[in-house]
Amino acid sequence: MSSIATQPEESGAQLHWRALERLYQSAPINELFASRLQITGTGEAAIRFTVDESCFHAAGAAHGTIYFKMLDDAAFYAANTLVSDRFLLTTSFNLHFTKPVRVGEVVAEGRWVSGRKRVLVAESRLVDAEGDEIGRGTGTFMRSRIPLSSLPGYSGGSS
């Protein structure tokens, strides 16, 4: 009997999730945000990001574009865990702001709700460093004609 421990091989789903995480990091827009995506399971995604003064509107709190970007991304990637061949497109997204955020780490938690064929629905929420919900959103996402395998970030190449 061998005493050498071996790592279990990643499943096809886990390989897809890691590829989605690379795809997120490869998007040029993410060079503007201190954020990191983690796929936590089928239909689940979390994005941790830091809000600082560079994200503020004139009244000294995070601008709504930050809320939208992180809520949309978390819901999008939660939905795309269920689709391994095509890139999804956001077709609509509804936002609800519940509390301003000034500085600190915020987590966007995404969760797939329904749909698997052409249109998927996912929701997301933002939680601040105190554990308070600061925003919530629901989006619909449609399969595009863009194969995930054609995107350099997904396939492991550079963008």
In this predicted model, what pLDDT tens digit does every residue of 80-112 receive, in sequence order? 999 999 999 999 999 999 999 888 999 999 999
**Does residue 7 lie in a domain region?**
no
Per the structure, the complete domain to which residue 54 belongs is given by 12-155
**Does residue 109 lie in a domain region?**
yes
Provide the strand spans (E) within 59-150: 86-97, 104-114, 119-127, 133-147
Which of 30-34, 70-74, 91-95 shows the lowest per-residue confidence on average (mean pLDDT)?
30-34
Q: Tell me what pLDDT residue 4 has.
A: 53
Q: Tell me what pLDDT residue 11 has.
A: 84
How many domains does one find in the chain?
A: 1
For residue 159, pLDDT beyond 50: no
Q: What angle do CA 66, 43, 40 make, to 5 degrees?
A: 75
**Does residue 3 lie in a domain region?**
no
**Does residue 106 lie in a domain region?**
yes
User: Model-level pTM?
Assistant: 0.90
Provide mean pLDDT across the span 49-71. Answer: 93
DSSP-based three-state secondary structure for 19: helix
Instruction: Kindly tell me the burial class for residue 82, based on how many C-beta atoms sit within 10 Å of its own C-beta (0-12, 13-18, 19 or more).
Output: middle
Look at the alpha carbons of 77, 78, 81, 85 in this order and tell me if their dihedral is positive or negative: negative
**Does residue 139 lie in a domain region?**
yes
Which of 2-6, 51-55, 143-147 shows the lowest per-residue confidence on average (mean pLDDT)?
2-6
Asked whether the beta carbons of 48 and 38 are under 8 A apart, the reply is yes
DSSP-based three-state secondary structure for 131: coil
Provide mean pLDDT across the span 141-152. Answer: 96
**Does residue 67 lie in a domain region?**
yes
**Does residue 146 lie in a domain region?**
yes
**Does residue 35 lie in a domain region?**
yes
CATH number of the CATH domain containing 65: 3.10.129.10
Q: Which of 126, 128, 106 is nearest to 36 (CA)?
A: 106
Provide mean pLDDT across the span 117-122. Answer: 94
